[in-house]
Amino acid sequence: MEEKSRILKKANDDQTRAVMFKDSYGGSENQFRLLLKYLPDENFKDINLILNNANHDLIEKDKINVLWMHHFVNQEEAKNLGSKDFVDKLDWIVFNSNWNFEKHVYQFKIPETKSVVIKNAIEKINFEEKPKDKISLIYHTTPWRGLVHLLKVFKNLNLENVELNVCSSTKIYGKKIDSVLGKTYENIFNECKKTKNVNYFGFLENKKIIDLLKKIHIFAYPSVWPETSCVAAIESMAAGCETVTTNLGALYETCSPFGTFVNFDRNFDNLERRYSKVLLNSIKNYWSDTNQNKLKLQSKTINSTYSWDVRSLEWKNFFDEVRK
């Protein structure tokens, strides 16, 4: 565990990121932990793996410097990728989607010769038959990505035998972020608690989310955030949930061909109207034979293509190649 311990210690010691690694359980932090879990220690020999932080101080001259970038180009931790001096010090940049790679190349003129795309991955989720008594929706990402729009849509639809489960909190990114942003979203969380047929869970650890997803019918995600991948969507699809989302950011790349998409519109009234119609249609058609067959194929396909069994081999081959 010598190599993994070195890499993990460095992530934990990095005080310059907005999110402190050791108490954050966001998508990229969990991906980092899973990579360390699924790859043998020797695969990390000579590698300096940096998560989401284009910071000169994290470069190590005697190591192969690999920046694993999940952030979008507008994030503070990505800014130095516009500096030739910094990029020259990197050996490789790993992006979590082709969309994110393309945006960084366009924004910062990142050299393609130093870039590689290795997509996110999940631990396999068993497909279970969904309950027949009602339709359960879930929103299990941070509040600023579309919760206010979903809640408005859900209230206006006012459907019987349809419930919305909200697993959303700023606590997922740890105390530092929660202390700054927590109060900003108190009103929307309180509205969730008071709304008929809404179950507000706040922050749930990932294992509990997975258990919940096995009983959920639809991942309802009117995203207004430029996702660079979306682990929440990947896990939902693996669990056999219909995924109703927008085509913003990398969501189309991540969720195709199984996702149900609404064209993103910066006029949120238009977006909510469109999303409401598509969500209602997905609820009404959920139990159709065609949809059920699609969801079973979706679960099987996502579990095989996004599995750590597959992705760990990609990482191993990548590290072997960069050491040559």
Q: Which CATH architecture has domain 135-304?
A: 3-Layer(aba) Sandwich (3.40)
Inter-residue contact 28 to 142 (CB < 8 Å): no
Cα atoms found within 13 Å of the Cα of residue 86, Cβ hemisphere only: 19
Strand pairing report for 242-246 and 260-262: parallel
Q: How high is the pLDDT of residue 21?
A: 94
- Helix 147-157 × helix 268-284 angle, to 10°: 60
Block means of pLDDT (10 residues each) for the chain, 324 residues, are: 94 91 94 98 98 97 97 96 97 98 98 98 96 98 98 97 97 89 94 98 96 98 98 98 98 98 98 98 98 98 97 98 94
Helix (H) or strand (E) holding 99: helix 98-108
Angle in degrees, 0-180, between the axes of helices 27-38 and 231-238, rounded to the nearest 10: 60
Residue spans per domain, the chain: 2-121+307-323, 135-304
Q: What's the pLDDT at 108?
A: 98
Whole-angstrom Cα distance, residue 174 to residue 28? 13
The answer to whether residues 254 and 103 touch, using CB atoms and an 8 Å cutoff, is no
Report DSSP letters for 27-39, one per residue: HHHHHHHHHHHHS
Q: What is the DSSP string of 112-157?
A: GGGEEE----B------PPPSSSEEEEE-S-GGGTHHHHHHHHHHH
210 three-state secondary structure? helix
Written as six digits, the tokens of 297 are 């194929």
Q: What end-to-end distance do the CA atoms of the chain give, in Å?
A: 22
Name the token pair of 190. 């309180």
